[in-house]
Amino acid sequence: MKKNTVIVLILLLVLTSAAARAAEIETLAQGVAAQIKAFFQDKGGITAAVTRLENQTSLNGTALERIYQLIYSQLISANDNQFFDFLVEFHDNTARFNLTRADDIQYLIYLKFIEEPGRIGAGIVIFSRRLDQVVAVKYIDAPITKAERNLLEVRQFGFTELGFSRLIEIDLQKNLMDVQSMEIDGKHHLLLFYPRHIEFYQVLGHGLEKQADFSINWPKPVFPVRHYEGKLTLFSIQERRYLAVGSNFSKQAMLFEFQDRTWRETTKIPFTPLADIIINGIRYLVGSSYETGKNCFQNRMFFLPLLESGFAATGILEKTAPGFYDCAFVCRQGELESVHFITLDFQHQAFAADLTTPMAALGKKGVSIANLDDSWLAITDYSSGSDLLFFCKLEQSQFKPVYENAISGEVLFLSTGFWQEKKGFWAYVRDLQEDHERFTLQFWSKKSE
């Protein structure tokens, strides 16, 4: 397990008079720099930068800039370590930093200044890009009063927006239902799933080149829907590649096999596949059925055994589950460990692999959820105008919200995959603008990986 490298240091000074204030501020700046340098003393060759500065004092922008300059001038004298200056300006007592340059920095520093009558303090947070949670908190020099405790209420110390970044945004048509990434002969491809067809693209640099477009002949009856919903599931049996395609307007899912560089229909499945998992050494294609014509799933999960020779002719297992909008399956050492649902009241619920033993819930409302390599869960906020993506770290059967990013518009679905050499989350977003709707596919990946 990675050791924590996040530490909070609070320096408090008593201001004896207005005349002494300048001297005390300089002392404060020196103390901040000394604590930062002490923290990095045995960590030669690192890169670090202040990426956020928050002011809750009567100090004006000029005073804050002076403090920042004093701190930075002392940091750059530190041997073997590189401290970068990303400050752009102070405006209305607020510091603005150029965070586009922060992706390759190993340590991020957050400063917060707080004040009570006759009393000023500085809080320091040093954040390692390789760490995703706070483990150690340390107080320096004085008891922490209620005002100073507000320092700790800044969500994840102001670094929430620096964990994942949007690498690409692609303008697409309306009614995209799902997306999957796949690799063929060492080349990356995208599958875009629309109600009546699937578009097959090859990734070329920062763009896409269309390779094929194949229609889906849904079995009748086909039901009218208000919002199109569907799922793509890629899996392999031996050397054969399969693609399962399910929707909320057909009771049967379609199964395609990749042959001669095209997808050929093979059979139908009586539920919408959601994942390829292993339980007690047995491999299953697991899924559920949409409520006919609606954008949610029924309260049942189906398990179709996958054999080396293909699909089992009989023996589909069925288990009760909560009705849900979306779900994510988490595995450990190849075996299913837990299932995470967004239920019909938009709450997150988690169960062990047996689907009966409840686990701790996230305590958030959401709409979509996805699992990346059994290491990260992403969940969208319960909103439609301006959405949020919450990224939760999965570790030893536990999960904890670590990062969050604001999105302009509404996330319609989440999926996982890769773009070029990066793994991450796909988000399909609807943005209501003044005279039209804009639909984009965004790819979000962890900056330090």
- Which residue from 350, 346, 343 is spatially nearest to 400, judged by alpha carbons? 350
Over pLDDT 90: what percentage of the chain? 39
Closest CA to 90 of 59, 115, 62: 62
Within 10 Å of residue 31's Cβ, how many Cβ atoms? 19
Query: What was the pLDDT predicted at 118?
Result: 59
> What percentage of the chain's residues is helix, strand, coil (to nearest 5)?
10, 55, 35
Strand ranges (E), 160-204: 164-171, 178-184, 187-193, 197-204
pTM score of the predicted model? 0.71
Q: Which pLDDT value is given to residue 4? A: 44
Residue 366 CA from chain centroid, whole number: 13
Residues 118 and 150: beta-carbon distance below 8 Å = no
Fold entry, domain 165-446: Neuraminidase (2.120.10)
* Structure-token pair, residue 24: 């005390």
Q: Which value, in Å, is the radius of gyration of the alpha carbons in the chain?
A: 26
Tokens of 378: 């992403």
Which residues lie below 8 Å from residue 241, measured CB to CB, with a gap of 6+? 182, 234, 235, 257, 258
Q: In angstroms, rounded to a whole number, what is the distance separating the alpha carbons of residues 387 and 389?
A: 7
- 67 CB neighbour count, 10 Å cutoff: 22
Omega prior to 221 cis, within 30 of 0 = yes
Lookup result for tokens 């596919």: 441
pLDDT of residue 238: 87
Closest residue by Cα to residue 158 from 64, 35, 51: 51
Q: 18 CB contacts (<8 Å, ≥6 apart)?
A: none
Query: What local confidence, expressed as pLDDT, does residue 141 receive?
Result: 37
Give start and end residues of each alpha helix (H) in 261-348: none
User: What is the CB neighbour count within 10 angstroms for residue 405?
Assistant: 20
Numbered ranges of CATH 2.120.10.10 in the chain: 165-446
Q: Which residues of the chain have pLDDT under 70?
A: 1-25, 78-79, 116-119, 130-162, 312-313, 384-385, 397, 447-449
Question: 156: alpha, beta or left, given left = phi > 0 and alpha = psi -120 to 50?
Answer: left
The pLDDT tens digits for 47-67 are: 888 888 888 777 777 778 888
